[in-house]
Amino acid sequence: MYKYIFYFSLFIYIFSLVWGVLFTQEDFVQGNSFRIIYLHVPASFLSQSIYAAMAISSVIYLIWRVKLSAYLILAMAPIGALVTFLALFSGSVWGIPTWGTWWQWDARITSTLILFIMYLGLISLHNSFSNHEKADKLLSWLVIVGFVNIPIIKKSVDWWSTLHQSASITLTDKPTIDPSMLYPLIGSIIGFFGIVICLIIISSKVQIFKREKTKSWIKDYV
Amino acid sequence: MNTELIKAENISFKINENRLFHNLTFSLNKGEALHITGSNGSGKSTLIRIILGITPQSKGSIMIINNNNICYLGHKNALKGYLSVIDNLMLHGLNNHKDLNYYLEKLDLIKFLDVVVANLSFGQQKKLALLRVFLNDSDLIILDEPFVGLDKDAHDFVKNFLLKELETGKAIVYTSHIDCEIESKVLNLQ
Amino acid sequence: MNVFYLEYLKLKKKTRHWIGPIIVFILIMIAYPLTVEFLEKDLEKGFYSLLWISILLSMMLATEDIFLEDYNDGTLEQTIISISSFPFLIAKKIFIYWFMIGIPISLFSFLFSLGITKNLNISLLVFPFAMICSYIFLNLFVFGSALSLNKGSVLGAIITMPLALPVLIVLGKGVIAIQFGINYLELLLLLLGSLSIIITSVPFIVSYIIKAHLE
């Protein structure tokens, strides 16, 4: 089932990418460099959403001991790290022509970098325990405490003056972006979202196989 | 009157999907001893930890009356190697116990009071840790391999002490590879 | 009261754990002027950044194996069997560490600040900042070292550093506020507020984590 979602999302993403990169006009200020938003915006958007999803799974795991949510946390952590890295990397590439520098100690970039380090911390914490259930519990605690910290980090680094442009699309306000760029952007967000969700499904499937390999239903399935 | 201290039903335990034991049912009344035996790695210590409430069981239910009043001595003896014997006793709140001197003398520890624990032999450390058991006022005594490393005299001393405690109505749970001549229920984990 | 005394006794006997972090702090503070040219103006510039970071580092060293010893020798097991309010015990333990390590380091912060800036007013204001931030860092690193119990302090540092970064930013703001003499009370209250939240929540979280470790 998820295979179809995957191909469908991939199609939407590539379609929006082609549309956005080849068939929209240049940005008045930023020239052609803005076209990287079709990677940068979805990645930045998801880097935090994935962490939020992990935090929800952690709460579910700690309260109701649902094993599946523990597997989900594990499955999401590396993908979250990857997406966050993509956001940072694409941001750097975009920064060279627009700001003249690939790195700036600016609020959003710094908090994204911290988020990336937090993902790495989560992964290394889980890897250092051989008792899986213990590792799941400890990981959940760290995810929750880290999630509490994310708005605080954002708030505190926002105190610095920032180079980063403010968000172009919000749920409440009218978008400040030209429609010809907006539609491919929305398409790319949806496509990227679908791809990431499918990756998470695949990766959690791997986790389930790994952890439940002694169960008879797995043997029947494989 | 209800004299049941522990009541366990259908306890199972598995770690990383490896099953250690399955569907254990047992109960323990006041004045009774429970001997948990089994080969290495059969889950003796784990069962002890489940009874103590440290490790949760995978399945089944276990009930312990008066959870906070258990005297426990495990493999790790909770002694600080860098402190002297008397300081360690203070750490466990035993330095002013009225029977302390009697037991110190019986266990040949009286002349080591100011010695740092790390300089004591394994058996002496074990005896020092056992002092906590001798001076307890709990209804339930739980011991993980209490006889390991003890000489013949100390072994008999511990055994007689436990027999005496059983007579006064306390309950004892212990693990041991060997039979230690205490009349008890036996739970063999294979 | 008993717990306070016992933790004090333990720390006193383990000089390495008690004096060690303080000495490391002093050494960094002494090393700092050596790395800068001897013009005093430059000395002041980066001093406070280094001060906060070295407080952070020495707190990390102090809590490196705060639970490790009790975990290895079985004291933690005994404690959770016999004591009903484990979080309270942890809170007391953290307090003792702050009292024995955090407060001396804050005092030395004051002295070094006085020595480098030669400004009593600024240094007097830096002192409460140092007191509060050392307590916050201590709590955060206790959380990290509880998570990475017996897995080494590097893991604990990776986990905890991101949590400590907002505090560092506030501290940076604080020094500027002190130097200009504006709004520093606000920042101090902000730190105090976060400290009170952290003090009350960390012991509970840590007690759950340690119970998970003992399973």
- pLDDT 10s digits, A139-170: 999 999 999 888 888 877 776 545 556 566 66
- Nearest Cα of chain A lies from the Cα of C1 at a distance, in angstroms, of 30
CA dihedral of B154, B157, B158, B162, whole degrees rounded to 10: 170
Q: Which of C165, B189, B18, C172 is nearest to A110 (CA)?
A: C165
- Paired with C133 in beta bridges are none
Helix, strand, coil distribution of chain A in percent, nearest 5? 80, 0, 20
- Cα angle for residues A44, A146, A112 (degrees, 5° grid): 25
Tell me if C62 sits within 8 A of C101, measured CB to CB: yes
Using CA atoms, how far apart are residues A28 and A34, in angstroms rounded to an integer?
A: 10
**End-to-end alpha carbon distance in chain B:** 34
User: Residue A222: its pLDDT value, please?
Assistant: 65
Position A85 in a domain: yes
Domain residues for the domain of C127 are 2-214
| Domain ranges across chain B | 32-53+68-188
User: Residue A193: its pLDDT value, please?
Assistant: 92
Backbone angles phi, psi at A96, to 5 degrees: -60, -55
- Token output for C168: 């560092």
Using CA atoms, how far apart are residues A103 and A93, in angstroms rounded to an integer?
A: 9
Does domain B32-53+68-188 sit in CATH 3.30.710.10? no
Give me the interface pTM, i.e. the ipTM.
0.89
Say whether pLDDT at B22 is over 60.
yes
User: Residue A105: its pLDDT value, please?
Assistant: 78
Element (H, E) at A92: helix A67-99
Tens digits of residue pLDDT in C154-208:
888 888 889 998 899 889 888 888 888 888 898 999 999 999 999 999 999 999 9
How many beta-carbon contacts under 8 Å exist across A and B? 12
Using CA atoms, how far apart are residues C214 and C192, in angstroms rounded to an integer?
A: 33
CA C58 vs CA C9, C55, C207: distances in Å: 21, 5, 23
With an 8 Å Cβ cutoff, are C159 and A121 in contact?
yes
Residue of B39 and C24 predicted with greater confidence: C24
Q: Structural domain tally of chain A?
A: 1
Q: Which of A49, A77, A71 is nearest to A193 (CA)?
A: A49
Domain residues for the domain of A114 are 2-163+179-221
Say whether pLDDT at B184 is over 80.
no
Tens digits of residue pLDDT in B129-158:
888 888 888 888 899 888 888 888 888 888
Residue C211 amino acid letter: K
Using CA atoms, how far apart are residues A92 and A85, in angstroms rounded to an integer?
A: 10
Tens digits of residue pLDDT in A71-121:
999 999 999 999 999 999 998 988 888 878 888 777 788 889 999 999 999
User: CB contact, 8 Å: B121 with chain A?
Assistant: no
Tens digits of residue pLDDT in C78-108:
888 877 789 999 999 999 999 999 999 999 9
Q: Structural domain tally of chain C?
A: 1
Q: Which of C124, C100, C91 is nearest to C110 (CA)?
A: C124
With an 8 Å Cβ cutoff, are B16 and A130 in contact?
yes
| Mutate which: B13, B14, B15, vs A, most A CBs within 10 A | B15
User: Residue A171: its pLDDT value, please?
Assistant: 54
DSSP-assigned letters across all residues of A174-216: PP-S-HHHHHHHHHHHHHHHHHHHHHHHHHHHHHHHHHTTTSH
Position A172 in a domain: no
